[in-house]
Structure 1
Amino acid sequence: MSYETIEFSITEGVAVLTLNRPDSLNSFNTQMHAEVRSALKEVKKDSSVRCLLLTGNGRGFCAGQDLSDRNVAPGAEAPNLGESIEKNYSPLLRTIRSLEMPVICAVNGVAAGAGANIAFACDIVLAAKSASFIQAFCKIGLVPDCGGTWSLPRLVGPARAMALSMLGDKVSAEQAEQWGMIWKSVENESLMDEALSMAKHFATQPTKGLALIKRAIQASATNTFDEQLDLERDLQTLAGRTEDYREGVAAFMEKRQPAFKGQ
């Protein structure tokens, strides 16, 4: 189907979802939420997709919520922002984290508010050196959402997470890499080439095994050590029953490159 606020394509096992409201720094309005939901449904139902790449057009990745889409006029009834989160943002974040494939985010410019936290929900984040991350919520009297209060303390520790959330300071891509907020910062002109190269690599790898790695790493944030050992046992049982495991072992024994099918 055709879209107006995003671009979406599937090629050789890679789904590329590009936020496309560059004049508003790709901020989310109602239409963009609906179109992103539609594209992610396509990703989930298309068995050929083995990696999702999320990025943005223009000079920004995503400035979060389009405030003009929920303007609060003087004397008007206050909006229910929790309802908006429950309807739009929370399902988006849950989908990104639960997709049974790698999700790469290529941050091409500023990632502010919800935009920053959507990036942090992805499995691997690459950022152009001109990009930046801002927890902008405090500047309009709000609380970080889209999982920001969960992701940030785990990425940078509680002290930095608290300061970033309360001060709303900008963090450069290179600083974000140094702090462990993202995987890597790259030259602007290399961002999409590197992101697509990684996505194409993942599209040739044992997808079910990668999905189980994703589950294990996510669960480790709240599991005890003993619980994690049990989970690793259970996930390894599942991984050992995949066709890709059989192919990986056969290729190793035959001294050839494996031909994984994501099964």
Structure 2
Amino acid sequence: MTSDKHVAETADATDASAVTALRSGAVAVVTMRTPALTAAAKQQLLTALDELSADGSIRAVVLTGAGRVFCAGQDLGEHAAALERDPEHAFDTVERDYNPIVTSLVTAPKPVIAAINGTCAGAGLSLALACDLRVCADSAKFTTAFTGIGLSCDSGLSATLAQAVGLARASELVLRAEPFTAERALSWGLVGEVVAADELADAARALAERLAAGPTLAHATAKAALRRAWGLPLPEVLAAEGRDQHRLGLTVDHRNATAAFLAKQRPQFHGR
């Protein structure tokens, strides 16, 4: 998910890695380079996301895949071997790997954009929905996949899919487990933008750079508030929003943006 004009990027991982993280200014692009998630890929993905989450110089992250696949979910070859070896513990990976990866995406104190370049299935769809925004190639294909192999949802999909498209649509998608197109995903609100496949990298980067130039603390607070408020009683939502606004009201970004508005100038945000 890079292009030749972005020569300033430096790799944080070798070409042989299952996951790479490329930094360019305040934006980082994390690429899953295996079609499905192997044990190594899951470990490397969690490490990359946690490191970028903690890096204050990175103010927006793009998560994408390589080639024609965003992420096809669990590597079923490894899973079959785990079932054969020790079926009682074959699903330990959910708590050990998938749950921390999803938590890292959701709690990152900066916007995370899923750039869905191709097949997005099973836990891959869960990862995309754990991101804050989704930009999609017009050639991408989606499926929930889980019930197709006799399983239910994991990696947060039972909540995030219903939040994205509504319970009725989510039930159709999970129980039928039929593939659907990028256009359908857009019409249902599952993704926010569909672009030509060869424009995806630039579109995702442009969005990430715009967000990275914005009020990072406000972005972090807003994404946490949106997740937190789902299903809470209104009085609790109002109280939490009040606390957030009071804290953000003391930031340099807010004071500068208020002054810029009154002066009819474009605000400059510094993430503090």
Q: TM-score, normalised by structure 2?
A: 0.91
- Residue 9 of structure 1: aligned partner: 22
CA RMSD of aligned residues (A): 1.6
Deviation at 1:255, TM superposition (A): 2.4
Of 245, 252, 263, which aligns to 1:243?
252
**Aligned 8 A contact 2:13 2:19 in 1:** no
Is it true that 1:137 corresponds to 2:146 in the alignment?
yes
Moved more, 154-163 or 198-207: 154-163
Tell me the secondary structure at the aligned position of residue 161 of structure 1.
helix
**Residues 73 and 98 (structure 1 numbering): CA distance in 2 closer, same or farther, change over 3 Å?**
closer
- Give runs of ≥4 in structure 1 deviating > 6 Å: none
What is the count of residue pairs matched by the alignment?
259
Partner of 1:110: 119
Q: Quote how far apart the aligned CAs of 1:195 are.
A: 0.6
Measured in 2, the distance between the counterparts of 1:213 and 1:74 equals: 41
Q: Which amino acid aligns with 2:23?
A: I
Deviations 1:152-185 (A, max 9, x none): 1222222221121111111211101111111121
Stretches of structure 2 that go unaligned for 5 or more consecutive residues are 1-11
User: Kindly, what percent of the aligned residue pairs are identical?
Assistant: 34
- Return the letter of the residue paired with 1:256: Q
Structure 1: segments with no counterpart, 5+ residues: none
Give the secondary structure class of the aligned counterpart of 1:236.
helix
Q: Are 1:234 and 2:243 counterparts?
A: yes
Give the aligned partner of residue 99 of structure 1. Answer: 108
Quick check: 1:69 aligned with 2:82? no
The aligned counterpart of 2:173 is 164
Letter in 1 for 2:148: K
Q: Which amino acid aligns with 1:142?
A: L
Name the aligned partner's letter for residue 2 of structure 1: A
- C-alpha contact (below 8 Å) 2:119/2:140 kept by paired residues: yes
The answer to whether the 8 Å contact 2:116/2:137 transfers is: yes
Query: What per-residue deviation string (whole Å, max 9, x for no partner) do you get for residues 30-54 of structure 1?
Result: 1111111221232123210100100
**Distance of aligned partners of 1:45 and 1:76 in 2 relative to their CA distance in 1, 3 Å threshold:** closer
